[in-house]
Structure 1
Amino acid sequence: MSRLNQEWAFDFGPGMPTEAYIGVSPDTRYDDETGYGFEGNGQVFGRNRMDQQEESSGWEHLRQSFCIPMGMNFVVKVPDGIYRVTVEIGDALADTLTIIKAGESKSVLPYISTIRGQFKVALFTVAVHDGRLVLRFSGAAPRINVVTISPTEETLTLFLAGDSTVTDQPATGYPYAGWGQMLPALFKHDVLVDNHAKSGRSSRSFIEEGRLDVIVEKMRAGDFLFIQFGHNDEKSDPDRGTEAFTTYKQHLKVYIDAAKEKQARPVLITPVHRRYFNNDGVLTDTHGEYITAMKELAVEEGVPLIDLAADSKIIFEEAGIEGSKQYFMWTYPGEYLNHPGGVEDNTHFQEWGALRLAEQVIDQIRKLDLQPLRMYLR
């Protein structure tokens, strides 16, 4: 695969690609030899708004020709690392609406809408851990005109350690979502949100499985580590359970010490509430002493604390017993393809709920004035 100044530069759509760009037509399928192409069970369509005479102008092809992916991903084989991705999207003759996700289901940009004749350029930063950069395009009228991918080290990394309420849920579980997978789209491209949260983990099991070691190995001075555990610490499982005022605090302190040793900034986040209401519409606190213990530790160690438990209580109670279902995985049979029998889940979130919680995290970053993170908010 050719490269342009250490970049992968792709020109999408039918017709001759622009000089020095890699042409991607609607029928370009991924294989390991070329190292790029579309992948999935859907279809890709293409349009070229130029006539043959105009096509000789070369550079205009970048905007006038494009692909329309329907249920397909664009995959590029790249070495593991951090990458800056630039996309250009638009159409000379039609309004467009494009949603871009990276990897399994990470939200990396706000929805991109353009009116007829308008073209927008957007940037985001992603980490690649398995040698494949996967871009998922969807929306009411998606377009791909141009994509460039550049290795970069000029970024501030926000690491996330947590459980299923934070993790990047797989696309096969849609609309399941953790608040951590919605967070990248709320930052400018100067910040990489590297989400290491994993379903079913506690503050203890996350460490014992070596997941904190992976974060510490990548961590640099000035980075941030956001830490949210509690849901699984509360369980009696001997491989995960902790005691609030002893082993829970002790394990959380390991994260704090590890970050400080790398001259990074740890931030504690109280566990988001589950959807359990009393008959009078007041939310039942299922975390109890774990919230108190985390708050004590934040004071003892002098680290910032985002009280997502308090924020989520307000959000869920304002929505009410029935209204709060819109945030959680409460779905009807037949409502979503991935869950034909419906779901009644009071712990995990739909994308809308995960986004509301991610927005609360952003709001607390502002209130706590966590610089330079605050400076890079969209």
Structure 2
Amino acid sequence: MKSVEAADLSAASGGQAQNIGKQAELDRGLPRTDDWRFDFGPGAAAEGYRAVGPDCRYDADKGYGFEDGGSVYGRDRRLQEDGAMSGDMAGTNIPGTNIPGGDTGLSRLRGSFCIPLGAVFRVDLPDGTYRVTLLTGDELADTHTLVKAGGSKRILPPVRTAAGQFVEHRFAVQVYGSTLRLAFAGKAPRVNALEIVSSPNTLTLFLAGDSTVTDQPASGYPYAGWGQMLPALFKHDVCVDNHAVSGRSSRSFIEEGRLDVLMSRMKAGDFLLIQFGHNDEKADPRRSTDPHTTYKEYLRRYIDAALAVKAQPVLITPVQRRYFDAEGRLADTHGEYVPAVCELAAECGVPLIDLAEKTRALLEQAGPEGSKELFMWTLPGEYMNFPAGMEDNTHFQETGAARIAGLVAEAVRELQLQPLLMYLR
């Protein structure tokens, strides 16, 4: 699919719309192992695409479809070539619209769509990095679509279109376990088409860290690590591959072989963001490290591993916990671990994101009460997954995780980390 941004169908029919048709001609016949195209909505698919109607359920033989759960509806607003309206557009007059005669591919992609409400679309793919293109819009209505990968990773900002506007959005995603799962929601979601293309050379931003960074499962909503909010802040030129795991320290992450797995996928030009500390501080012999010795020694192993493959390591100080003193100032819970990271960054000459300082400023500005909106402080009955409520001063809910991810993006700008800076949205 080429870009399909237009205020109305007549505007698109002149330039970008013609490009769509030409691109469809070029794309036909590409190997299915490298390229997957899906046309969403009732009726037959546009040529070169696979049909995904609202009743298209996933099965292993087919290798794609909507998983059980959620609701999926479909609309067909296409105009017939003779100018008469078909499906849901019958009897409706839209002045100024004019789909080019014979351009059935464009008419199909834009005029028919699925409305997925809390639904997950699954595609079976070989493991690897992919570029995904989403086409969304509706001739008659404003739309609002939310998209997550794997059920919890925010890969796009909220997608909004005005009535008559059709917009193409791209993002990069890493597939593990031979399965790509895209969860759709929103106030008025639309999915017109999807194109999935293998993109192994995409720059990858790897994350190593703990529960404050990890992709929390959808079943734990609204729990969220800042790493799962980060992909939405980058263009499709960057794939965020989050290897952070709850409960891990700089030591246990390595001793469990997780750094080895991460490095088996890293290539020259990639980035590795490293944030540990919360669990290094605990009195657990399997995880604890000393800030003056073993903590820095383990962190240095991440740095050396990245540099060995000509990737760029970036050290990050641990985010602050939500503990305030009687004067409303944030209490320090990390002790010598924060200065240890700063010292190591200077010693090794690698970039440093002082997230401890940035989150201290954020929490103190919000104050003891306002900062609860960032953390998992919830009332009984406020969220289905936590009916009894929650008071957690360490872990974020989605709002807070998104704010922290924004601070990381802010630091990328401040440090002028190229080409990451160039690829920020």
Q: Same fold (TM over 0.5)?
A: yes
Question: 1:104 touches 1:169 (CA, 8 Å); kept in 2?
Answer: no
Please state whether the residue corresponding to 2:292 is helix, strand or coil.
helix
Residues 1:50 and 2:78 aligned together = yes
In the TM superposition, residue 268 of structure 1 has moved relative to its aligned partner by 0.3
Residues 1:72 and 2:100 aligned together = no
Q: CA RMSD in A?
A: 1.3
Deviations 1:177-218 (A, max 9, x none): 000001011011000110000000000000001110011111
What is the number of equivalent residue pairs in this alignment? 377
Cα separation, 1, equivalents of 2:259 and 2:141:
48
Residue in 2 aligned with 1:229?
276
Residue in 2 aligned with 1:41?
69
Residue in 1 aligned with 2:382?
335
Please state whether the residue corresponding to 1:313 is helix, strand or coil.
helix
Cα separation, 2, equivalents of 1:334 and 1:203:
36
Residue in 1 aligned with 2:202?
155
Question: 1:156 touches 1:223 (CA, 8 Å); kept in 2?
Answer: yes
Cα separation, 2, equivalents of 1:223 and 1:120:
29
Residue in 2 aligned with 1:370?
417
Cα separation, 1, equivalents of 2:157 and 2:387:
29
Cα separation, 1, equivalents of 2:393 and 2:104:
55
Residues 1:125 and 2:125 aligned together = no
Residues 1:182 and 2:229 aligned together = yes
Residue in 2 aligned with 1:358?
405
Cα separation, 1, equivalents of 2:229 and 2:118:
20
Once the two structures are superposed, the pairs formed by residues 193-212 of structure 1 within 5 Å of their partners are 193-212=240-259
Cα separation, 2, equivalents of 1:330 and 1:211:
31
In the TM superposition, residue 4 of structure 1 has moved relative to its aligned partner by 4.1
Instruction: Extract unaligned runs of 5+ from structure 1.
Output: none
Once the two structures are superposed, the pairs formed by residues 244-263 of structure 1 within 5 Å of their partners are 244-263=291-310
TM-score, length-scaled by structure 2 = 0.87
In the TM superposition, residue 19 of structure 1 has moved relative to its aligned partner by 1.0
Residue in 1 aligned with 2:161?
114
Residues 1:140 and 2:168 aligned together = no
Deviations 1:272-321 (A, max 9, x none): 00000001100011001000111111111111100000000000000000
Query: CA distance change for structure 1 residues 3 and 32 in 2, over 3 Å: closer, same or farther?
Result: farther
Please state whether the residue corresponding to 1:330 is helix, strand or coil.
strand
Residues 1:25 and 2:71 aligned together = no
Question: 2:130 touches 2:174 (CA, 8 Å); kept in 1?
Answer: yes
Cα separation, 2, equivalents of 1:4 and 1:28:
23
Cα separation, 2, equivalents of 1:243 and 1:73:
44
Please state whether the residue corresponding to 1:110 is helix, strand or coil.
coil
TM-score, length-scaled by structure 1 = 0.98
Instruction: Extract unaligned runs of 5+ from structure 2.
Output: 1-27, 87-101
Once the two structures are superposed, the pairs formed by residues 237-316 of structure 1 within 5 Å of their partners are 237-316=284-363
Question: 2:116 touches 2:189 (CA, 8 Å); kept in 1?
Answer: yes
Instruction: Give the fraction of aligned pairs with identical amino acids, expressed as a percent.
Output: 62
Cα separation, 1, equivalents of 2:70 and 2:315:
42
